[in-house]
Amino acid sequence: MIEATPSEAATSWTASSATDPAAAASSRPLLSVSNLRMWFPITEGLIFERHVGDVQAVDGVTFEIERGETLGLVGESGCGKSTTGRTVLRLYRPTGGRIEFDGEDITGLEGEPLRRMRRRMQMIFQDPYASLNPRQTVGGIVGEPLLVHRIGTSAERRERVAELLDVVGLNPEFLNRYPHEFSGGQRQRIGVARALALNPELIIADEPISALDVSIQAQIINLLVRLQDRFGLTYLFIAHDLSVVRHVSDRIAVMYLGRIVEIASSQALYERPVHPYTVALLSAVPIPDPAIESRRRRIILNGDVPSPSAPPSGCRFHTRCWLRERLGNPDRCVSEDPSLRVLASGHAVACHFAEEVDGSPEQVQVTGRGSGPVGATAPTPATPSATDVTPESGGETPAER
């Protein structure tokens, strides 16, 4: 077993604060993000660069994650999910807002304190092909974080890597093989093993299954769930559609154009979505009951997602909102930016008229509680996705080991 230096003891493999009873007893959230803003400058001119605007990738995002909790983060491509994850990890310096990790303000952390903090937060990437160095052996890839943080001797690191491979369901004898010798699912397991190397507390899983074959998606989800139970991990689980996060998330945050528009417990979000955008997203998620599914209709949103460098005024969703249209296009949607407010049902929602959604024919129909069709419609596929398989039923096959 690898020994940590005294300065590293607090976060080492052998003495993780994730399993420290004092830390576990702490009631504060592990991660607290308030009003986070990450804008990327747009410049023009080759010699004299002029700042002509900003891509408002993340603009005023607030959420918390409790220790041991999984928060799902969903939204269409380009809405700022990855940027949120990367900014939380402090791979970017935020343009504004505050990030607290385990009670410590890490927003402006730099140098050695940031490096030490980063050991406690790791990322699993979307593409296991692109995120693994093809010229490094599996041992080198998984052991790299230990080497970078100068933990253990080379023999101890080797032992730890073998242990990690076993933990993620890979044969420890694969240590000297290269990434191309593995299947997509196995490569993602290597990515998971690398993320676990430093015994982190928070894992940001950025679309960890969307590049994988449908048949192995459930296996990776199951692996992540098992590892969470075993190591007391906290997850920010990013996905672009709601079906993927359903079974893994305790709560789900829905993002649209750099903002969170709704946060609720996973069950509440599926049963009573109250933001018109969430209702539309949910209408695209098949319900694995053919009788209900045949009656459901998809809500098609008008137009494309607007550019994050010139977001619409007022409510950013107003250019595509079916509810606004149904309410006769109220000016308030265009003139007033709705803040995230908490309803009696416990949902936090950023819509002036969210009360109109609750109990509406659209909500009832999309959640499968009703039978009639809704406004602008198109058929949805009736086949349940692989990720609608419950975690228990999506077991690993020997081929994945």
Ligand X SMILES: Nc1ncnc2c1ncn2[C@@H]1O[C@H](COP(=O)(O)OP(=O)(O)OP(=O)(O)O)[C@@H](O)[C@H]1O
- Pair of tokens at residue 200: 């982190």
Quick one: what does residue 352 bind among ligand SF4, Mg ion, ligand X, none, with the CB cut-off 5 to 8 Å set by partner type? ligand SF4
Single out the segment in contact with ligand X by CB under 6 A; choices: 75-83, 187-195, 317-325, 340-348. Answer: 75-83
Distance CA 327, CA 337 (A): 17
Tell me which residue of 135, 241, 127, 131 sits closest to 178, measured CA to CA.
135
Tell me which residue of 237, 273, 268, 195 sits closest to 387, measured CA to CA.
237
DSSP state for residue 276 in the 8-state scheme: H
Kindly state the helix (H) or strand (E) to which residue 265 belongs, with its residue range: strand 259-265
Kindly state the helix (H) or strand (E) to which residue 385 belongs, with its residue range: none
In the complex with Mg ion, the residue whose CB is nearer, 82 or 219, is: 82
Instruction: Compute how many other C-beta atoms are within 10 angstroms of the C-beta atom of residue 70.
Output: 24
* Sites for ligand X among residues 283-312 (CB under 6 A): 308
CA within 13 Å, CB half, 40: 12
Distance CA 295, CA 287 (A): 10
* Sites for Mg ion among residues 119-148 (CB under 5 A): none
The residue type of 388 is D
Say how many residues make up the chain.
401
In the complex with ligand SF4, the residue whose CB is nearer, 90 or 275, is: 275
Alpha helix (H) ranges present in 89-209? 111-118, 138-148, 154-167, 184-196
Identify the residue among 82, 234, 243, 266 touching Mg ion (CB under 5 A).
Answer: 82
77 binds ligand X (CB under 6 A): yes
Torsion of CA 202, 208, 214, 216, to 10 degrees: -60
Identify the residue among 23, 57, 121, 224 touching ligand X (CB under 6 A).
Answer: 57
SS3 247: coil
* Sites for ligand SF4 among residues 277-316 (CB under 6 A): 315
Q: Find where tokens 């993927």 sit.
A: 244
Single out the segment in contact with ligand X by CB under 6 A; choices: 26-34, 76-84, 99-107, 330-338. Answer: 76-84
Quick one: what does residue 40 bind among ligand X, Mg ion, ligand SF4, none, with the CB cut-off 5 to 8 Å set by partner type? ligand X
In the complex with ligand X, the residue whose CB is nearer, 240 or 324, is: 240
List the beta strands (DSSP E) in 66-161.
70-74, 96-101, 104-105, 121-124
Degrees to nearest 5, angle at CA 238 with 140 and 102: 80
In the complex with Mg ion, the residue whose CB is nearer, 82 or 199, is: 82
* Sites for ligand X among residues 79-98 (CB under 6 A): 79-83
Quick one: what does residue 79 bind among Mg ion, ligand X, ligand SF4, none, with the CB cut-off 5 to 8 Å set by partner type? ligand X
SS3 24: helix
In the complex with ligand X, the residue whose CB is nearer, 57 or 151, is: 57
338 binds ligand SF4 (CB under 6 A): yes
Q: Find where tokens 């689980």 sit.
A: 237
Single out the segment in contact with ligand SF4 by CB under 6 A; choices: 181-189, 201-209, 340-348, 350-358. Answer: 350-358
In the complex with Mg ion, the residue whose CB is nearer, 82 or 222, is: 82
CA 55 to chain centre: 21
220 binds ligand X (CB under 6 A): no
Identify the residue among 190, 202, 321, 386 touching ligand SF4 (CB under 6 A).
Answer: 321
Quick one: what does residue 318 bind among Mg ion, ligand X, ligand SF4, none, with the CB cut-off 5 to 8 Å set by partner type? ligand SF4
In the complex with ligand SF4, the residue whose CB is nearer, 375 or 395, is: 375
338 binds ligand X (CB under 6 A): no
* Sites for ligand X among residues 221-250 (CB under 6 A): 240
Instruction: Number of residues interacting with ligand X: please give it, by CB under 6 A.
Output: 13
Residue 298 bridge partners (DSSP): 378
End-to-end CA distance of the chain: 24
40 binds ligand X (CB under 6 A): yes
Quick one: what does residue 199 bind among Mg ion, ligand X, ligand SF4, none, with the CB cut-off 5 to 8 Å set by partner type? none
Enumerate binding residues for Mg ion (CB under 5 A): 82
Enumerate binding residues for ligand X (CB under 6 A): 40, 55, 57, 75, 77-83, 240, 308
